[in-house]
């Protein structure tokens, strides 16, 4: 009966609409399964043969995560951007030895972030938006639609009022997730929609820096396509876009920026935002992917709304192009 009840509760809170609003409850509910182990031992003492392996792996994982989360981090820079995005630059600090801890990540990975000033119990996953070669860890976190007491809303409020708060202490767990091995491809198309640009920016900037340093193949071509609602939405990645617009590195990098809700920019019209060329409307993704057909070792990486991901998936399947998408479910 206990096991059945737990399955029912877990199934209910695993529903996207419920999990989206009550992620902490969904997360901590899984720990109740420890009761199942206790009940099993009470029911059959010899069941420890079957329990020990899985429970040992779980305990090892929890201990490792507790160790990672015990390191002290600070937001050395946190500011509110005009498009309701919070920009965080994070620095691990080893208070015991008095120097920075080693934190290595690959482009496209994410971390779990906790801000004690908001809640000591809330941990949320956010993609690392900086490139590993930058030598720093940054996250650009968009304020999600919803109540003012949501995590992203409170984080944005902290950034807006940082002159009243002072230094911001945070906790970090990670990095986690897959990463793009650029050595497997020659023609990479990166497609982003809105704040889905965070892993795309990390990948694009890393490859741009590698090309500049002569650490990437001369046959590598990287094309970044990003669609935003307003030009102000380009602010989180503006420095990278300006660099790419000023120098395409002999044609090895390319940016195509689209703005689909700008009254001053009609569909198909070309404008400018602080040195970055922008086009009105939305990109026609199937045509962009069709251009990759026949090119050596093509790959498409997408992060954005489900519509963009589905359209890209179908086009890649049609033209036989390697495809990967990122979905943020929480």
Same domain flag for 196 and 318: yes
**pLDDT recorded at residue 96:** 40
CA distance 7 to 15: 13
Cis peptide before 175 (omega within 30 of 0): yes
Q: What spatial distance separates the first Cα and last Cα of the chain, rounded to whole Å? A: 30
CA distance 91 to 103: 9
Segment of 45-49, 80-84, 315-319 carrying the highest mean pLDDT: 315-319
Same domain flag for 64 and 14: yes
Mean pLDDT over each residue of the chain, to the nearest integer: 86
Same domain flag for 63 and 102: no
Cα-based distances in Å from 267 to 261, 277, 282: 9, 14, 8
Q: What is the CATH number of the domain that holds 317?
A: 3.40.50.80
Q: pLDDT by residue (tens digit) across 257-289?
A: 999 988 788 888 899 999 999 999 999 999 999
The torsion angle over the Cα atoms of residues 115, 118, 120 and 126, rounded to 10 degrees, is -40
Whether residue 48 has pLDDT greater than 90: no
Whether residue 122 has pLDDT greater than 50: yes
**pLDDT recorded at residue 292:** 94
Whether residue 127 has pLDDT greater than 50: yes
Confidence bin at 97 (pLDDT 50/70/90)? very low
**pLDDT recorded at residue 322:** 93
Same domain flag for 254 and 306: yes
Note whether residue 330 is domain-resident.
no
Note whether residue 216 is domain-resident.
yes
The torsion angle over the Cα atoms of residues 281, 285, 291 and 295, rounded to 10 degrees, is 130
Kindly state the percentage of the chain with pLDDT values over 90.
44
Q: Which of 52, 69, 86 is the last residue of a domain?
A: 69
Cα-based distances in Å from 17 to 124, 147, 305: 17, 15, 17
**pLDDT recorded at residue 78:** 87
Confidence bin at 59 (pLDDT 50/70/90)? confident
**pLDDT recorded at residue 239:** 94
Note whether residue 245 is domain-resident.
yes
How many structural domains does the chain have? 3
**pLDDT recorded at residue 268:** 85
Same domain flag for 168 and 225: no
- Containing domain of residue 42, as a range? 1-69
Note whether residue 59 is domain-resident.
yes
CA distance 80 to 73: 19
Note whether residue 129 is domain-resident.
yes
Mean pLDDT of 21-29: 74
Residue 81 φ then ψ, to 5°: -90, 165
Q: What is the CATH number of the domain that holds 88?
A: 2.40.30.10
CA angle in degrees (0–180, nearest 5) for 111-117-119: 70
Same domain flag for 199 and 297: yes
Whether residue 51 has pLDDT greater than 70: yes
Q: How many CB atoms lie within 10 A of CB 72?
A: 15
Q: Which of 39, 69, 99 is the last residue of a domain?
A: 69
Three-state secondary structure of the chain:
CHHHHHHHHHHHHCCHHHHHHCHHHHHHHHHHHHHHHHHHHHHCHHHHHHHHHHHHHHHHHHHHHHHHHCCEEEEEEEEECCCCEEEEEEEEEECCCCECCCCCCCCCCEEEEECCCCCCCCCEEEECCCCHHHCCEEEEEECCCCCCCCHHHHHHHHHHCHHHHCCEEEEEEEEECCCCCHHHCCEEEEEEEHHHHHHHHHHHHHHHHHHHCCCCCCCCEEEEEEEECCHHHHHHHHHHHHHHHHCCCCCCEEEEEEECCCCCCCCCCEEEECCEEEEECCCCHHHHHHCCCCCCCEEEEEECCHHHHHHHHHHHHHHCCEEEEECCCC
> What global pTM score does this model have?
0.83
Minimum mean pLDDT range among 56-70, 122-136, 157-171, 181-195: 157-171
**pLDDT recorded at residue 198:** 93
- Asked if 30 contacts 9 with a C-beta cutoff of 8 angstroms, the reply is no
Q: pLDDT by residue (tens digit) across 237-251?
A: 999 999 999 999 999
Note whether residue 289 is domain-resident.
yes
Residue with the bigger pLDDT between 31 and 165: it is 31
Mean pLDDT of 197-216: 94
**pLDDT recorded at residue 47:** 78
**pLDDT recorded at residue 327:** 64
Pairing of strands 322-326, 221-228: unpaired
**pLDDT recorded at residue 166:** 57
304: nearest Cα among 223, 200, 192 = 192
Same domain flag for 297 and 193: yes
Note whether residue 93 is domain-resident.
yes
For residue 36, what are the contacts with CB-CB under 8 A and spacing of at least 6?
2, 3, 6
Q: pLDDT by residue (tens digit) across 143-198?
A: 888 788 888 999 999 888 875 555 788 999 888 888 878 889 999 999 999 899 99
Same domain flag for 33 and 45: yes
Same domain flag for 317 and 207: yes
């Amino acid at each position: 009966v206990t096991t059945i009840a737990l399955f029912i509760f877990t199934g209910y809170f695993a529903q996207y609409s419920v999990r989206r609003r009550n992620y902490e409850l969904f997360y901590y509910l899984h720990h109740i399964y420890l009761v199942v182990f206790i009940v099993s031992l009470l029911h059959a003492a010899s069941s420890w043969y079957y329990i020990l392996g899985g429970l040992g792996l779980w305990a090892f994982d929890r201990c490792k995560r507790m160790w990672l989360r015990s390191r002290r981090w600070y937001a050395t820079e946190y500011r509110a951007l005009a498009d309701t995005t919070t920009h965080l630059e994070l620095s691990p600090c080893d208070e015991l030895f008095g120097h920075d801890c080693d934190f290595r990540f690959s482009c496209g990975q994410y971390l779990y972030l906790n801000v004690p000033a908001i809640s000591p119990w809330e941990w949320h996953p956010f993609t690392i938006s900086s490139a590993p070669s930058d030598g720093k860890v940054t996250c650009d976190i968009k304020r999600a639609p919803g109540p003012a007491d949501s995590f992203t809303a409170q984080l944005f409020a902290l950034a807006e009022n940082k002159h009243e708060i002072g230094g911001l202490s945070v906790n970090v767990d990670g990095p986690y997730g897959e990463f793009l091995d650029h050595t497997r491809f020659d023609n990479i198309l990166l497609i982003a929609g809105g704040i889905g640009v965070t892993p795309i920016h990390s990948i694009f900037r890393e490859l741009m820096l590698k090309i500049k340093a002569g650490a990437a193949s001369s046959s590598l071509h990287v094309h970044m396509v990003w669609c935003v609602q307003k030009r102000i939405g380009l602010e989180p990645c503006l420095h990278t876009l300006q660099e790419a617009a000023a120098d395409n590195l002999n044609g090895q990098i390319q940016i195509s920026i689209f703005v689909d809700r700008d009254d001053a920019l009609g569909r198909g019209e070309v404008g400018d935002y602080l040195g970055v060329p922008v086009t009105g409307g939305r990109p026609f993704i199937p045509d962009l992917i069709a251009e990759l057909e026949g090119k050596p070792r093509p790959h498409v990486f997408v992060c954005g709304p489900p519509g963009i991901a589905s359209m890209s998936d179908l086009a890649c399947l049609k033209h036989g192009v390697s495809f990967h998408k990122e979905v943020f479910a929480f």
